[in-house]
Amino acid sequence: MELKGLSIAITGGASGLGFATARRVIDAGGHVTLIDLPTSDGTSVAEELGSSATFAPADITDRDQFAAALDVADEQGGLRGLVHCAGAGRRMRILDKEGKAGSVEDFEFVIKLNLVGSFNALSLGAERMARLDDLADDNGGGERGAIVLTASVAAFEGQIGQINYSASKAGIVGMTIVAARDLAGKHIRVNTIAPGTMDTPLLSRLREDVRESLAASIPNPSRLGRPSEFGQLAVSMLENAYLNGETIRLDGAIRMAPR
Ligand SMILES: NC(=O)c1ccc[n+]([C@@H]2O[C@H](COP(=O)([O-])OP(=O)(O)OC[C@H]3O[C@@H](n4cnc5c(N)ncnc54)[C@H](O)[C@@H]3O)[C@@H](O)[C@H]2O)c1
């Protein structure tokens, strides 16, 4: 679908990959609704992006809040696209330092945020898209909407300390083909991006030497990924009507070591 004039919601839109995607969507002529925590920089980021951006504060693990924020996007002529970037990790081990069983609270926190959050995005986003008519020919035609989820290369080769994060991201990869099949009758496509090491605030919390060694471990190009490169792929996934049910790694060919 051609994004010109369409309403696209972006979760986690106040920072990192979501923010970079918002810029790309606006460049393509779309209107963005940034869905992010009330405590995020959403208000100032939306101001920075200008009249093509609206901030709708919500916690994506709270279905009522998330639904209300998606309604804000829906009011911009109907929700046609959703790029779901909100998510995070929380390092944990299966056994803690004393050899005791790891924290199930840490496990459940990340599963709820990343995996249940992605189900919320799929179900609440599709609910709104399904109510619309198929797009007219001048927007590509034949489809009602498209959803992009965010996994991670940790879905495939998670590192020590990522037992909860890898489980949540592998769940997102697993959901992708099911979601594409389930929503096919509503003419809604679903794709997933599995980023490697992208240069966002999430990674800026790491020590500089860790960032440098991460960059050196990436075969080609040997640098951290640019958030705009994520935004470019997310926009492509929204635009390309034949791309469906697929997870694409965006990682410079990195294959993570155990630690
Ligand atoms: N940066 C990377 O290298 C990398 C690699 C692989 C996967 N990812 C994934 O990409 C996504 C975005 O990461 P990022 O690097 O842009 O991180 P980021 O921290 O820059 O942005 C994440 C945004 O999500 C928001 N958020 C967190 N919890 C939320 C909630 N409950 N409700 C609403 N918003 C919430 C935060 O406020 C923040 O604005 C995450 O799912 C992350 O796991 C990132």
For ligand 1, atom 26: residue with the closest CA: 86
Residue 201 pLDDT exceeds 90? no
**pLDDT 10s digits, 16-34:** 999 999 999 999 999 999 9
Distances (CA, A) of 258 to 56, 155, 160, 238: 39, 13, 6, 33
Instruction: Kindly state whether residue 1 falls inside one of the protein's structural domains.
Output: no
Contact 68, 7 (CB under 8 A): no
Confidence band (pLDDT; 50, 70, 90) for 210? Answer: confident
Work out how many domains the chain is built from and give that number: 1
Which tokens belong to 247?
């997870």
Smallest CA-to-CA distance from 246 within 123, 156, 149 is with 149
Mean pLDDT in residue range 201-205: 81
Q: How remote is the CA of residue 216 from the centroid of ligand 1, in Å?
A: 23
pLDDT at 138: 76
Instruction: Kindly state whether residue 228 falls inside one of the protein's structural domains.
Output: yes
Determine the atom of ligand 1 nearest the C-alpha atom of 198: 3
Give 39-51 as a DSSP string: TSSHHHHHHHH-T
Instruction: Kindly state whether residue 255 falls inside one of the protein's structural domains.
Output: no
**pLDDT 10s digits, 189-200:** 999 999 999 999
Q: For residues 117 and 205, which has the higher predicted lDDT (pLDDT)?
A: 117
**pLDDT 10s digits, 99-131:** 999 999 999 999 999 999 999 999 999 999 999
Distances (CA, A) of 206 to 197, 202, 227, 229: 12, 8, 17, 21
Residues linked to residue 194 through DSSP beta bridges, in sequence order: 249
Residue 250 pLDDT exceeds 80? yes
Determine the atom of ligand 1 nearest the C-alpha atom of 201: 20
pLDDT at 141: 79
- Could you give the angle at which helices 163-182 and 117-130 cross, rounded to 10 degrees? 20
pLDDT at 153: 98
pLDDT at 204: 81
For ligand 1, atom 14: residue with the closest CA: 16
For ligand 1, atom 7: residue with the closest CA: 152
Q: What is the CA radius of gyration of the chain?
A: 18
pLDDT at 151: 99
The reply to whether the predicted model has a pTM over 0.95 is yes
Instruction: Kindly state whether residue 71 falls inside one of the protein's structural domains.
Output: yes
Instruction: Kindly state whether residue 256 falls inside one of the protein's structural domains.
Output: no
Instruction: Kindly state whether residue 187 falls inside one of the protein's structural domains.
Output: yes
Give 116-183 as a DSSP string: IHHHHHHHHHHHHHHTSPPPPGGGTSS--EEEEEE--THHHHPPTTBHHHHHHHHHHHHHHHHHHHHT
Q: How remote is the CA of residue 74 from the centroid of ligand 1, in Å?
A: 23
pLDDT at 140: 78
Q: Which residues line ligand 1 (CB under 6 A)?
A: 11-12, 14-18, 36-37, 40, 59-61, 85-88, 113, 150, 152, 195, 197-198, 200-203
Q: How remote is the CA of residue 97 from the centroid of ligand 1, in Å?
A: 28
Q: Which domain holds residue 17?
A: 7-250
**CATH number of residue 67's parent domain:** 3.40.50.720
Residue 88 pLDDT exceeds 80? yes
Which tokens belong to 141?
């035609």
- Residue 209's CB is within 10 A of a number of other CB atoms, namely 8
Contact 257, 216 (CB under 8 A): no
Instruction: Kindly state whether residue 130 falls inside one of the protein's structural domains.
Output: yes
Instruction: Kindly state whether residue 30 falls inside one of the protein's structural domains.
Output: yes
Determine the atom of ligand 1 nearest the C-alpha atom of 153: 6
Residues with a known catalytic role? 165
What single DSSP character describes residue 198? Answer: B
**pLDDT 10s digits, 63-86:** 999 999 999 999 999 999 999 999
Q: How remote is the CA of residue 87 from the centroid of ligand 1, in Å?
A: 4
